[in-house]
Amino acid sequence: MDLQTMTYLVVGASFALYIGIAIWARAGSTSEFYVAGGGVHPVTNGMATAADWMSAASFISMAGLISNMGYGGGLFLMGWTGGYVLLACLLAPYLRKFGKFTVPQFIGDRFYSKTASTVAVVCLLTASITYIIGQMTGVGVAFSRFLGVSSEMGIYIGMGIVFAYAVFGGMKGITYTQVAQYIVLILAYTVPAIFISLQLTGNPIPQLGLGSDMAGSDVSLLQKLDQVVTELGFGKYTTTTAGSTLNMFVYTLSLMIGTAGLPHVIMRFFTVPKVSDARVSAGWALVFIAILYTTAPAVAAMAKMNLIGTTNVAAMKGGDMYAPESSLKAEERPDWMKRWEKTGLLKFEDKNGDGRIQYYNDKTKDAAVKAKAEAAGWKGNELTVNADIIVLANPEIALLPNWVIALVAAGGLAAALSTAAGLLMAISAAVSHDLVKGVFKPDISEQGELMAGKISMAIAIVIAGYLGLNPPGFAAGTVALAFGIAASSLFPAIMLGIFSKKMNKEGAVAGMLAGLFVTLVYVFAHKGIFFIKGTEFVDMIGGANSFFGITPEAFGAVGALVNFIVAFVVDKMTKEPPEHIQALVESVRIPRGAKAVDGAH
């Protein structure tokens, strides 16, 4: 069976499964719509949380980033998984015991203020809408490459699928659909990795293959990769860091606390029956996430090796990398390259007119590499490979069977759609439960609120689709920006709400606004979005990455620090919270019993 037909069958079957589950698990009450009735088993919730969490960024982009960055890419593994440890230990059990539906509702009730709730909604919407841009873009990329439709049509189809199971099923439908999506995406990620690990090292376990010797050689995979990439002018794969040590630390911290503050992730812990189940659920989520996250470094390294081995025939044999015959002839480039060229995510330009593909780092500072390239007549790197295609193209590069390639397509779509659904659920709950019911119409009936939730979900899908079709200028850093927003605005407010009974509403509101403002200004200034008299604002704060060399994507941790400082300063200048609020905080921290989830104020 040809690849196109196989892909249609596998992806179509997965979509039919998702819609069928949604029909079976459709929500009939606000409790089922927002928190799946509060009766999801911890293991089931752990699997659904893993799918919710492992977005297009985890499935499609993370291995590509590690492949490009090498050792420095490990900050994504440390940050995202470390955030779950924070979530499991510091947030999930207490938020579950509080017994509310949403993060803004917790903040509004804890800080006895509709203003605090509304500010939290603004922060939530900013983070969630920013994050969802990347998911819809990922849907478009996967559809355009594997199903032979335009990326625009792919986004429309993705919108329709999410609408079918999210609007009607709510959190109940999303939860059980995400369990199916996790199974699809984890098979799609690990099966090709097993095949490729066997090809390169003879070891079927990718995590062990990464540290094993190359097949038929006494040189390890990582040693060989270090040798190859340095020969071609790239940084040493096993030691290159992401900027300064400070930036790597702050970037990791930002991802950690951003993970712990993302509202669509936190909402999952309101769906389990008991407080203890919230902690157990977070533990299971870590197990399910670890299967993919421990596989990602192997996928990254092996994809890098296969890509270089494809474009440079001397790479695997230890020959002269710069010999004329070492470069792949353009006319002989494999079909997978031609297919990806059509998407625009892989580009070839014959700069020296020799009819061959030169893939190397033409910006290297290594004089020996530059001399070899000039002597060989190379005029610059001729192959541009977008990091987002590494996982999706990996089985094609390795010449794996069509059914494996089709499975990867289904997995990429499952990852993007599962997270998109979770984000849309968070947006819907914030609008219908926290704004409509909490602020504008407190006496709305349950059916009225349920209808408001479905309408807001539908509107959110349309907005998400529009942003996917017309991404704003800062779209390249949307995922990291979303984490920065959550880290700088929501995470400190939640932490202070749980662990500081003296923190008042004025401090919390001021902190959230300060953290959000500082982070957005820094990011937008460096992305060229925020201007004061042309480029003077960027110059005024010192130019790109001016704050101790911290990149915009890592600035969320600094924003969080500003949030904490402002909150404490304002708190000391204003009166303490009422006694009943302080007593509430104390009771939430006492690990006795479990309050039923009813979403009542």
148-206 pLDDT per residue, tens: 777 788 788 878 877 776 776 677 777 888 888 899 889 999 999 999 999 999 999 99
Read off φ and ψ for residue 354, nearest 5 degrees. Answer: -95, 0
Helices and strands, number each (H, E), in the chain: 28, 4
- What's the pLDDT band for 532 if we cut at 50, 70, 90? very low
Task: Give rounded-to-5 percent helix, strand, coil for the chain.
Answer: 70, 0, 25
Q: What is the dihedral of CA 232, 235, 238, 240, to 10 degrees?
A: -170
For position 476, what pLDDT does the model report?
Answer: 43
Specify whether the CB–CB gap between 238 and 70 falls below 8 A: yes
SS3 327: strand
For position 222, what pLDDT does the model report?
Answer: 92
SS3 385: strand
The residue among 241 and 584 whose pLDDT is bigger is: 584
Task: Report the range of poorest mean pLDDT among 47-56, 135-144, 550-559.
Answer: 135-144
pLDDT single digits (tens) 501-515 = 999 999 999 999 999
pTM: 0.81
Length of the chain: 601
Per-residue CA distances from 417 to 98, 165, 288, 388 (Å): 29, 10, 18, 16
280-307: average pLDDT: 89
Rounded Cα distance between 419 and 407, Å, is 19
Task: Report the range of poorest mean pLDDT among 109-113, 312-316, 531-535.
Answer: 531-535
pLDDT single digits (tens) 6-42 = 888 888 888 888 878 877 776 666 666 666 556 678 8
For position 364, what pLDDT does the model report?
Answer: 87
- What's the pLDDT band for 543 if we cut at 50, 70, 90? very low
SS3 384: strand
Rounded Cα distance between 219 and 571, Å, is 60
Mean pLDDT of the chain: 82
Q: For tokens 């609007």, what's the residue?
A: 167
Contacts of 162 (CB under 8 A, 6+ apart): 417, 420, 421, 424, 461
- Whether residue 99 is predicted with pLDDT greater than 50 in this model: the reply is yes
Specify whether the CB–CB gap between 79 and 253 falls below 8 A: yes
* Other residues' Cβ atoms within 10 Å of the Cβ of residue 147: 18
- What's the pLDDT band for 278 if we cut at 50, 70, 90? confident
Task: Report the range of poorest mean pLDDT among 54-58, 230-234, 560-564.
Answer: 54-58
Q: Dig out the tokens for 580 from the structure.
A: 């009943």
259-271: average pLDDT: 79
96-125: average pLDDT: 85
Task: Report the range of poorest mean pLDDT among 168-172, 258-262, 514-518.
Answer: 168-172
Cα of first residue to Cα of last residue in the chain, in angstroms, is 57
For position 323, what pLDDT does the model report?
Answer: 87
Q: Which of 368, 205, 178 is nearest to 288 (CA)?
A: 178
Specify whether the CB–CB gap between 333 and 423 falls below 8 A: no
SS3 527: coil
Task: Report the range of poorest mean pLDDT among 272-286, 411-425, 519-533, 542-556.
Answer: 519-533
Rounded Cα distance between 396 and 488, Å, is 40
- What's the pLDDT band for 546 if we cut at 50, 70, 90? low
Q: What percent of the chain has pLDDT over 90?
A: 19
Per-residue CA distances from 585 to 114, 260, 498, 578 (Å): 18, 19, 6, 11
Read off φ and ψ for residue 327, nearest 5 degrees. Answer: -80, 145
Q: In the chain, what is the greatest distance between 2 CA atoms, to the nearest angstrom?
A: 80
For position 529, what pLDDT does the model report?
Answer: 44
For position 570, what pLDDT does the model report?
Answer: 96
pLDDT single digits (tens) 299-349 = 999 999 988 888 888 887 778 888 888 888 989 888 888 888 877 778 889
Q: Which of 554, 543, 488 is nearest to 517 (CA)?
A: 488
Rounded Cα distance between 416 and 184, Å, is 12
